[in-house]
Chains A and B, each alone.
Chain A
Amino acid sequence: MKPFVPLVFAAFSLGACGNYSNEDLDFQLALPEDGELDAKLPQALTRDDSSEYYTLTRKVVTTFNGCAAGLVSLVDRVRSYSPSSRNGAERIWGPFADDKHPGWQIRVVMVRLADPSVPPPAFQISYSFQLRDTTQSGSAFFDLMTGNYKSSDSARRGKGNMHLDVQTARNAGYPADDFGETAQLDLAYQTAQYPITVHMEIQNVATATDRQATYDYAENADGSGALVFHLTVDSVPGATGARDVKFTSRWSGSGAGRADAYVSTGNVPVGIDCWGQDTVADYVWRWNGQGNYGSAGLCAFGAPAL
């Protein structure tokens, strides 16, 4: 009887195929969705008379969201397709030919990690977006991006991080033209509870004017939020010797907000804008006194803690 059972399994396994899997869902849920890590400003539009720093905040938010979306899009194949192979706790998508770069292959590898601090049904999953130069015989896949996700009480809520290593890809000959001057990008996020936070660090190539940028975004349940943008540059125009620009923007759920700009490592304030729900400035202060008006008492927020 015993040899009969494997034979039956083998016979019906031959006819059985598909991607109908509940476990695959965990892998797909582990990845941040498009827009999930976006910074969200309550107002969607700017006006001609919108506050200068509100407008600048929108631009920073747009840049931040673009970087996050670019990173997330690398692993979009995981959501678009079912795994190409399953091996225990590992799932592999691909390899696929890189349509934009002939001769290169792409694959995504995801592994469910055994972590005592994350007892089932919670899960921790690591993943990597890998490249391989098929024109080089014997070449192996290397990581362009790696990530990790640890679920909370909900599959889609948890902590995660992503690391993009464009420089390694460039060194391997990959035409990383889509990544501009970026050398490395790190992103860490927490969506398990409010405030939702996203920390992003961008390290550009050595020849870039902007060396490094850091974003810290926080989102509260009531729609209020904050974005701190820290840029390291060769020089700050109008501020001799300055190397850093720090821009702290906060807003309430209604849309009123405040942004403070600093330069150099001494956190020297160079400007303040406070705006109302209409995005028009109620209070403006510049270090050189040009265009100042209004009263700081009209601001929705006080000075940021530095």
Chain B
Amino acid sequence: MRRAGRHLTRAGPRVGLFLALLLTPALASAQRRFALVAGNDVGGADTRPLLFASEDARRFHAVLTQLGGVAPGDSDLLINRRADELLGSLASLESRIAAAQSHGERTVLIVYYSGHAKDGDLRLGNSRLSFAAVKARLAAAPANIRVGIFDSCHSGIVTRGKGARRAPAFEIEATGSQETRGLVLLSSASADEEAQESDEIGGSYFSQYLVSGLRGDADRSGDRRVTLSEAYAYAYARTVAETAESAAGAQHPTFSFDLKGNADLVLTDLTSRREGLYVPASAPAGTYYLIDASGFIAAEVVKPADADRQIALPPGRYRVRRRLADRLRIGEIRVAEGQLHTLDESRLRDAPFSDDPIKGGRRDQDVKLSLALGVTVQAFFDAPTRDGLFPPTGLLSAELQVRNFFRRGWLLALDLAGGSARGQVTRLDTPLPFRFSEFTAGMSLASEWPLWDNRLFPYAGLRLAYLLLGRKFEDRTIPDQYFSTFSPGLVAGVRYRLWGGFAALARARAHYLLYNVDENRSLGYWELSAGLSYDF
């Protein structure tokens, strides 16, 4: 399990005692690298959808393919997929690794997972995959070096056993061999901790700092290469520090290894891509946040006094923020293709805290808009009302649905519907047939639960409708009648994703209606709808 929320968690307790590394880095160029990167926002029953697991996976995949020496063709990015799909992808990579090794290539396999985990299992939608099985699979994989990175609650279970550590850095014992080979496992949280996400940084703490470190901020040696141990040490320190004051408590990443050899693993080579940001030694010390167009932190640079820093960034525009005690220093930079942008402190300006460009805006990207069209049947519960006042009616409806607007998993819907029916009221054996017409406008707020690997979405919530009901009598000597009112109700339904952006809808509503023309009467009506929606 991983905790989703505003200030969110993914790992364990005390800072360990180890310090980083001793080994001679192994060049990425000497190896062929394969990566399986999986992110799953949904963890099935008894879990709440995560906000950023899939986004974490995308960012990790991006840094591996941009700076980590992983060719796009040698990587699989799996978003919200099932366990069998993950295993299938892993099997495919293993066979390619075996083929590469048969040609004499040294190979590295990196498996990254971001998502829910609970009771010793990774939770991929409604499917499960035990940590033990994944660990065994990695241990048996044909690659020379296998790296497993698990960003999920209680993921420290995977590092239990030989070499498990909960410390800011790990040490790989040299055995005399020049070629490092074996297994390294990293977890974002210890076995008894929850991994935390943050709306502010738009990701999990651990993955955010891991990626930020891999982009260059973890390069403590200054050799323009970020090793596994540097990245871990950086992510560990930042994760513990940033989660120390959170409601869930500090989160402690862990690691374990079973390695032979004396070379540390270089995860990213910053010289492979020139574009990025250079913070010169003359710039003030502090933490520089680089904020992408979505308003979330793309990377951080912790700059010490009298030292420079460089971080690799994809081309694009970024806002820069540095926080002082009483104000912010903010500015904007543009990282051009192949260009290293040098930060000019004089081009930053003072700004109040209210102008903080970090808005937690990644949420906006999750907002989904759908248009649904359907048919509805409506009838009042009370038979006399149904027979002589408001007859059962068929309606054509259109509904605009906004998901994740107020918060993830919430559905806001605005709907319009219209229809008509024939009815008859009998007054003292005098039948008076009429044409009944109805127009409704409604607003619903519901909570939605994804099931079946994000294909089925049951939802339930509240609705407030405005109804305009009217009837025209065939006897034109009787004036037309109308009634309008607001009507609160409950709504429950299910959405089933079909293909592309299309989904089938089925919905039931139950409403209260106060009728007050002849007398005050509390009435109720139900609606059943079916329709088709399209996600934009």
Q: A and B, one complex? A: yes
Tell me, in angstroms, the Cα distance from A24 to B389 when the chains sit together.
12
Given contacts A20-B481, A25-B478, contact A13 B516 (CB under 8 A): yes
Tell me if A137 counts as interface (CB < 8 A to partner B): no
- Residues of A contacting B427 with CB < 8 Å? 22, 25-26, 29, 121, 155
A1-53 contacts to B, CB under 8 A, are: 9, 12-13, 15-26, 28-29, 33-34
Stretch at the interface among B7-15, B35-43, B141-149, B483-491: B483-491
Cβ contact within 8 Å between A9 and B520: yes
Given contacts A9-B514, A22-B425, A23-B518, contact A28 B478 (CB under 8 A): yes
- Residues of A contacting B30 with CB < 8 Å? none
Given contacts A12-B486, A26-B427, contact A21 B479 (CB under 8 A): no
Cβ contact within 8 Å between B483 and A18: yes
Given contacts A25-B427, A156-B430, contact A20 B478 (CB under 8 A): no
Cβ contact within 8 Å between A79 and B514: no
Tell me, in angstroms, the Cα distance from A289 to B240 when the chains sit together.
132
Cβ contact within 8 Å between A12 and B428: no
Tell me if A182 counts as interface (CB < 8 A to partner B): no
Cβ contact within 8 Å between A122 and B428: yes
- Shortest CB distance B443–A (Å): 14
Could you give, for residues 257-268 of chain A, a 1 whenever the CB lies within 8 Å of some chain B CB and a 0 otherwise?
000000000000
Cβ contact within 8 Å between B432 and A86: no
Tell me if A82 counts as interface (CB < 8 A to partner B): yes
Tell me if B352 counts as interface (CB < 8 A to partner A): no
Cβ contact within 8 Å between A79 and B478: yes
Cβ contact within 8 Å between B518 and A19: no
Cβ contact within 8 Å between A153 and B425: no
Tell me, in angstroms, the Cα distance from A23 to B385 when the chains sit together.
13
Cβ contact within 8 Å between A81 and B479: yes
- Residues of A contacting B484 with CB < 8 Å? 15-18
Q: In the complex, what residue of chain A is closest to B485 when comparing beta carbons?
A: A16
Tell me, in angstroms, the Cα distance from A33 to B425 when the chains sit together.
19
Tell me if A80 counts as interface (CB < 8 A to partner B): yes
Cβ contact within 8 Å between A18 and B481: yes
Tell me, in angstroms, the Cα distance from A26 to B485 when the chains sit together.
24
Q: In the complex, what residue of chain B is closest to A28 when comparing beta carbons?
A: B478
- Shortest CB distance A122–B (Å): 6
Tell me if A151 counts as interface (CB < 8 A to partner B): yes
Q: In the complex, what residue of chain B is closest to A80 when comparing beta carbons?
A: B479
- Residues of B contacting A63 with CB < 8 Å? none
Cβ contact within 8 Å between B486 and A15: yes
Question: Which residues of B are in contact with A by a Cβ distance under 8 Å?
Answer: 388-389, 425, 427-430, 432, 466, 469-471, 477-479, 481-488, 514-518, 520
* Further 6 A-B residue pairs, CB within 8 A, beyond A20-B482, A25-B427, A29-B428: A12-B514, A19-B483, A22-B388, A22-B425, A25-B432, A81-B479
